[in-house]
Amino acid sequence: MNSNENKFIQQMTHPLKSRAFLLLKLPAAFFSGVRIKSISAEKCEVSIPYKWFSQNPFRSTYFACLAMAAEMSTGVLGLMQVIERKPSVSMLVVNLEANYFKKAVDLTTFVCEDGKQIEKLVDEAIATGEARSIKAKSVGKNKAGEIVAEFYITWSFKSKG
């Protein structure tokens, strides 16, 4: 793990700095209760509670709130790789797929374990100057450890240099 990754992880796991980031850059996620639980070079865990602001009329977590948490678990791993890169690298969601298995009625935690593949892909995008894509997987589980949903978020990375 390089010093940029360490610095990024410290900022994103700091209780105040991470909430300030969400409030300023992703206010819908902030108010919905999306929170980063842990980050490493390999994986990221993000949670979304079932509460008034994240609920749907069917007494479960609204699918868009689940999607926010799933996307963040993959996106944070990508952001960690593009921050302070020379040349700079852009990242963009180009596709999203979801499968739902169980009603989300309590805290749902999404885990993406594609950090090393994302790092390799960003390195390739810089080396080749061409856009590279990855279909990152995020699995959401409830407090009992049951799978609630799985998301596949396709990210595109392109060097700006």
Residue 1: predicted pLDDT: 61
Residue 112 in this model has a pLDDT that exceeds 90? yes
Q: Once rounded to an integer, what is the mean pLDDT over residues 42-54?
A: 95
Give the C-alpha separation, 59 to 69, whole Å: 18
Give dist(CA 77, CA 121) in Å, integer.
Answer: 12
Confidence of residue 100 (pLDDT cuts 50, 70, 90): very high
Phi, psi of 25, rounded to the nearest 5 degrees = -105, -30
Q: How many helices (H) and strands (E) does the chain have?
A: 5, 6
For 62-94, what is each residue's pLDDT tens digit?
A: 999 999 999 999 999 999 999 888 889 999 999
pLDDT band of residue 118 (cuts 50, 70, 90) is very high
Residue 104 pLDDT > 90: yes
Domains delineated in the chain: 3-87+99-118+138-149 (3.10.129.10)
Amino acid at 134: I
The reported pLDDT for the residue numbered 161 is 74
Helix, strand or coil, per DSSP, at residue 110: strand
Q: What integer pLDDT is reported at residue 68 of this predicted model? A: 96
DSSP 130: S
Q: What is the pLDDT of residue 32?
A: 93
Does residue 136 surpass a pLDDT of 90?
Answer: yes
**pLDDT tens, 23-44?**
999 999 999 999 999 999 999 9
- Compute, in degrees rounded to 10, the torsion defined by CA atoms 91, 87, 3, 10: -30
Q: Please give the backbone phi and psi of residue 38, each rounded to the nearest 5 degrees, phi first.
A: -160, 155
Model pTM score: 0.93
Supply the mean pLDDT for the chain: 94
